[in-house]
Amino acid sequence: MKLFIGQILPYFTVTIFILGMIYRLGRWAGAQIVHNITLSPWPQTKGQAALRVGTEAFLFRNLFIYDKALWAGALLMHFALLNVLIGHLVGFAFFGTQFALIPGLGITTELSKAMSDCFGSIFGIVLFVTLLYLLYRRLAKEAAKLVTKPSDNLWLLYLLVLVGIGNIMRFVPNYHIDYVLVHDYVTALILFCPVVHMELLNNGFFLVHLLLVQILLIVFPFSKLMHVFGMFAERYIVNRVYHDPAPGLPNVDVSAARQAELGIPDGILQGRGYK
């Protein structure tokens, strides 16, 4: 088991993830933007278009306008998720000392570790709670219920378990895992060194967490989670710069026409004596 999950599977995971992404994004790229279907009112500059897409991507603008509750839940969930993902990478690389590395803030290594712990805990909990809320919403709210497929609920459950186990490792001292161990593990994997002997893999929670993450990555390119990229791809089609063709009618001089009293009976009749 340790051999499979800890040593062999990771290489498969990474390969399938990369190939899967290429396949899925390639499938999108293969189809064309046939007609101009940009939504009006249009951005007038590339900057405005980027701003529009940016506010959708990072602030969930439309959710905010049309459904505040969903906005709060979804934004918090994604924000926590983003931080947890970054936290994983940075944590394993710098063991929690990352904040001390920012020049000019005067943060000590001790403080940085404490901060890292604190943020990790907060976002771990927020992520779990907001995922619960989103699941509750799917089961309770009429409109959400009517559009939900089993896989939508399963994804939320899956992430809840994944995040739940992560939280257990963080909050239950017996199962706690030191960053250093993970750092060594990942480094060894990257260098294609054997890792099966590592003490880390004896932690059952870690092993399951690792397995779930890998399954997630394998399935990711074939799942609804691709909306991260889908959103940019779609907005690239519907939020484009467009300039109206200039108004103005050829050979029309309104003041001359009015002076000639065109259209007024007994005046100069339309089309005659006037060009």
Question: Which residues between 135 and 164 bind another protein (CB under 8 A)?
Answer: 141, 143-144, 146-152, 154
Q: How far is CA 143 from CA 29, 31, 138, 254, in A?
A: 32, 31, 8, 54
Residue with tokens 């397995």: 211
Is 195 among the residues that bind ligand HEM (CB under 6 A)? no
Task: Name which position in 5, 72, 111, 260 contacts another protein (CB under 8 A).
Answer: 260
Does residue 194 belong to the site contacting another protein (CB under 8 A)?
no
Contact segment (CB under 6 A) with ligand HEM among 9-17, 55-63, 171-179, 197-205 equals 55-63
φ, ψ (nearest 5 deg) of residue 123:
-70, -30
Q: 3-state DSSP call for residue 114? A: helix
Q: Is residue 256 a contact residue for another protein (CB under 8 A)?
A: yes
Q: Hey, which residues between 81 and 100 contact ligand HEM (CB under 6 A)?
A: 81
Asked if residue 270 binds another protein (CB under 8 A), the reply is: yes
User: What DSSP string runs through 221-250?
Assistant: GGSGGGHHHHHHHHHHHHS----PPPP--T
Per-residue DSSP letter, 191: T
Distant-in-sequence, close-in-space partners of 34: CB < 8 Å, separation ≥ 6: none
Gap between the Cα atoms of 71 and 58, Å rounded: 11
Task: Write out the two tokens for 99.
Answer: 């904040």
The verdict on 228 binding ligand HEM (CB under 6 A) reads yes
143 lies in the binding site for ligand HEM (CB under 6 A): no
Q: Cβ(239)–Cβ(39) under 8 Å? A: yes
Partner whose binding site includes residue 147, from ligand HEM, another protein, none (CB under 5 to 8 Å by kind)? another protein
Q: Decide: is 18 part of the binding site for ligand HEM (CB under 6 A).
A: no
- Does 67 bind ligand HEM (CB under 6 A)? Our answer is no
CB atoms within 10 A of CB 243: 8
Please identify which residue in 60, 92, 94, 128 interacts with ligand HEM, judged by CB under 6 A: 60
Closest CA to 239 of 52, 33, 34: 52
Q: Of 49, 74, 84, 211, which lies in the binding site for another protein, with binding defined by CB under 8 A? A: 74
Q: Residue 155, interface with ligand HEM (CB under 6 A)? A: yes
Q: Which is nearer to another protein, 104 or 245 (CB)?
A: 245
Closest CB to ligand HEM among 9 and 81?
81
Q: Are 113 and 96 in contact (CB under 8 A)?
A: yes
**Which range touches ligand HEM (CB under 6 A), out of 18-26, 119-127, 207-215, 226-234?**
226-234
Q: Does 272 bind another protein (CB under 8 A)?
A: no
CA distance linking residue 80 with residue 126, whole number of Å: 6
Residues that bind ligand HEM (CB under 6 A): 57, 60, 63, 70, 74, 78, 81, 134, 138, 152, 155-156, 159, 225, 227-228, 231
